[in-house]
Amino acid sequence: MRTVPHFINGVRVEESGDLNVFNPATGEVTARVPIPSPAFINNVVDVATKAADEWGQSTLSRRTNILFSLRQLLVEHTDELAALITSEHGKTLADAKGEIARGLENVEYACGLIEHLKGGFSDQVADGVDVHSTREPVGVVVAVTPFNFPIMVPLWMSANAIASGNVVILKPSERDPSVSIRLAELFEEAGLPHGVFNVLQGNATTVQALVEHPGVDAVSFVGSTPVARAVHESASRHHKRVQALGGAKNHMVVLPDADLDVAADAAINAGYGSAGERCMAISVVVTVGDVADPLIKKITERLDRLKVGPGDDPASDFGPLITKEHLDRVVSYVTSAPDDDITVVRDGTTLESREGFFVGPSLLDGVRPGTKAYDDEIFGPVLGVARVATFNDAIELVNRNPYGNGVAIFTRDGNAARLFSRHVHVGMIGVNVPIPVPISAYSFGGWKDSIFGDAHIYGPEGFAFYTRAKVVTTRWPQPPESQIDLGFPTTR
C-alpha cells in the first residue's frame, strides 16, 4: 500500500501510514497517510524556523521570479494535478481544473508583491524629521486546509505568505493529501529554497500540536465552523495571529421579476456542482412571493438531466462524496426531511447502488429555521427551497442565519439588488452570480459563524495578515546642534 509522504526541507519524508485515503469513486483504499509524532512535529518547526531567517531576508525580485516560475509550472501540470485531485476527492476533472485556475489567480496576484509590500513615506513631518513604514514577515505560518479544495485553499494561503517572506507548514486534509506533495515539488522546481514550503501530514492532533507550538507565529485555517472556532480560540490562547474560516449556509434569493431560467440554471450549477461540497455552494433557494412553484418546475426539469458518475468520466456532472460516513450523513437529511414537514421533491438517495460514495441530487421544498435540513450545513447535493412572502422577509431570513459566508440575489431590479447588498449581514454577495468567490485582488471571507478572526483571506487582507507593520521615524541632526528637552516629542 502506498503511503503519502511528508515534504520537509525540500525532500519527501516517508513514514508508515496511519489513516486511509480512499478513491471515493470506487470506495477502495488507495493510500495511507501518517500521523506524525510530537518529536517529528518539533523537528519540522525547527526546520521552518531556520528557513524563515533566510527567506525573510530574500529580495523581492527573487521572490517574484520564483512565483512567476511556479505560475508557469502550475499551468503546465494542470492535467496531472487535476487527475490527482479527482482520484482522492472525487470531483470531476473539469471541476478540479477550475479549482486549480482559481488557485493560480492567487499566485498571479502574489507576483505583484513589489506593489503589495510597498510601504509609505512622509517627508518633513517635523523639522528635519521623516517617517517611513515597512511590512515585515511574521515568520512561520501554519496553513490548515479542508478536503474540498485540496490545492486552491493551500494556494490561497501559501502564495501570499511566501511572497511576504514567510515560511509555510501546510497541514492538508488527511482525506486528499497527495496533491499537496506535488505542489511542494513544484515550489522547489520553481526555485524556492528548501524548508520554505513544507507539508506535514496528519490529523486534528497534528493541528493542535502546531497551533500550540511556540515556534509558530501565525495560523491560517479553513474548514468547518466547530473546528474553526476551536482553532481560533486555541491559537489566540497561545498568542498567535490567527484567521479561521468556517462553514456556510448560502442563500440564493429569487425575486418575482427575475429571469427564472437564469435562476434555475444558477441554482443547479451552484447547488449541485462538486456534489454540493463547496463552502460557497447554494444550499437554500429563497423564493419570494409566487416564484416557488414555477421555479421548482424549472429546477426539477434540469435536475432530472444531471448525470452522477466518476469524476474522470467526462459525462459526469458531479462525482461521489468524500467518504462513506459523509454519504450516510447527507442521506439522513433527505430521509428525515418529511418528519419536519418538508416535501421531498426529488430523492437522490434512491440512486442505483454501486461501488463508491455516490448519491444523486435531492430537492427539498419547505425548509425553514428550526428544521435540520435548514439549520445544518449539509455539504452534499441537497438543495432546499424556502418560501417567503416579501423582499424584507428574505433579508430577515438571511440575516437570522448564524452563517454569513455567501449569498446571491436574482432580480432585474438594480435598486432591489443594491438595497439587498447593503442590508445583508454576509461577507460575499452575488448579484445574478450564484457563487461570488472574489477574484484574487479582493479578499475572501464571510461574516458571523463563517469566520473567526479579523482578517479575510488572500488579496490585500492576506498580505496584511502575513506581515507586521514597522514604522521608522528618522532625524539627521544638522550640526552644530545640541538640545536638551525632556518634553514629549510633538510635531508642532
Q: Is residue 147 at the binding interface for ligand NAD, with CB under 6 A as the rule?
A: yes
Q: Is residue 242 at the binding interface for ligand NAD, with CB under 6 A as the rule?
A: no
DSSP class of residue 357?
S
Q: Is residue 272 at the binding interface for ligand NAD, with CB under 6 A as the rule?
A: no
Candidates 147-155, 182-190, 308-316, 333-341: pick the segment binding ligand NAD (CB under 6 A): 147-155
CB of 478 to ligand NAD, least distance (A): 54
Candidates 115-123, 139-147, 310-318, 356-364: pick the segment binding ligand NAD (CB under 6 A): 139-147
CB of 54 to ligand NAD, least distance (A): 28
Answer for which of 47, 235, 248, 398 binds ligand NAD (CB under 6 A) is 248
DSSP class of residue 44?
H
d(CA 186, CA 192): 9
CB of 247 to ligand NAD, least distance (A): 3
Candidates 51-59, 199-207, 251-259, 477-485: pick the segment binding ligand NAD (CB under 6 A): 199-207
Q: Is residue 149 at the binding interface for ligand NAD, with CB under 6 A as the rule?
A: yes
CB of 177 to ligand NAD, least distance (A): 9
Candidates 54-62, 65-73, 138-146, 348-356: pick the segment binding ligand NAD (CB under 6 A): 138-146
Cell numbers for 47, please give them.
526546520
Answer for which of 165, 195, 223, 381 binds ligand NAD (CB under 6 A) is 223
CB of 41 to ligand NAD, least distance (A): 13
**Catalytic residue flag (residue 279):** yes
Terminal alpha carbon distance of the chain: 73
CB of 184 to ligand NAD, least distance (A): 16
Q: 15 with 5: CB under 8 angstroms?
A: yes
Q: Is residue 169 at the binding interface for ligand NAD, with CB under 6 A as the rule?
A: no
Q: Is residue 250 at the binding interface for ligand NAD, with CB under 6 A as the rule?
A: no
Q: Is 448 exposed, middle or buried (0-12, 13-18, 19+ CB in 10 A)?
A: middle
CB of 365 to ligand NAD, least distance (A): 24
Q: Is residue 150 at the binding interface for ligand NAD, with CB under 6 A as the rule?
A: no
Q: Is residue 405 at the binding interface for ligand NAD, with CB under 6 A as the rule?
A: yes
∠ CA 359-360-361, rounded to 5°: 125
Candidates 23-31, 36-44, 49-57, 148-156: pick the segment binding ligand NAD (CB under 6 A): 148-156
Q: Is residue 148 at the binding interface for ligand NAD, with CB under 6 A as the rule?
A: yes
Phi/psi region, residue 166 (left: phi>0; alpha: psi -120 to 50; beta: rest), is beta
Q: 5 with 13: CB under 8 angstroms?
A: yes
- CA distances from residue 160 to 46, 73, 98 in whole angstroms, order as listed: 22, 17, 20
Q: Is residue 428 at the binding interface for ligand NAD, with CB under 6 A as the rule?
A: no
DSSP per-residue string spanning 135-164 = EEE-SEEEEE--SSSTTHHHHHHHHHHHHT
What lies within 8 Å, CB to CB, of 144 at 6+ separation is: 171, 207, 210, 219, 220, 221, 222, 223, 231
Site for ligand NAD in 23-62 (CB under 6 A): none
d(CA 166, CA 135): 12
- Report which secondary-structure segment, H or E, holds 179: helix 178-189
d(CA 169, CA 107): 17
Cell numbers for 95, please give them.
471541476
Site for ligand NAD in 345-404 (CB under 6 A): 377, 379
- Report which secondary-structure segment, H or E, holds 126: strand 121-126
Q: Is 479 exposed, middle or buried (0-12, 13-18, 19+ CB in 10 A)?
A: exposed
∠ CA 291-293-298, rounded to 5°: 95
Site for ligand NAD in 171-190 (CB under 6 A): 171, 173-174
CB of 411 to ligand NAD, least distance (A): 26
Task: Please identify which of the residues 100, 279, 342, 385 carries the catalytic annotation.
Answer: 279
Q: Is residue 166 at the binding interface for ligand NAD, with CB under 6 A as the rule?
A: no
Q: Is residue 146 at the binding interface for ligand NAD, with CB under 6 A as the rule?
A: yes
For ligand NAD, which is the closer residue by CB, 405 or 467? 405
Instruction: List interacting residues with ligand NAD (CB under 6 A).
Output: 144-149, 153, 171, 173-174, 203-204, 207-208, 222-224, 227, 230-231, 245-248, 279, 377, 379, 405, 446, 450
Residue numbers annotated as active site? 279
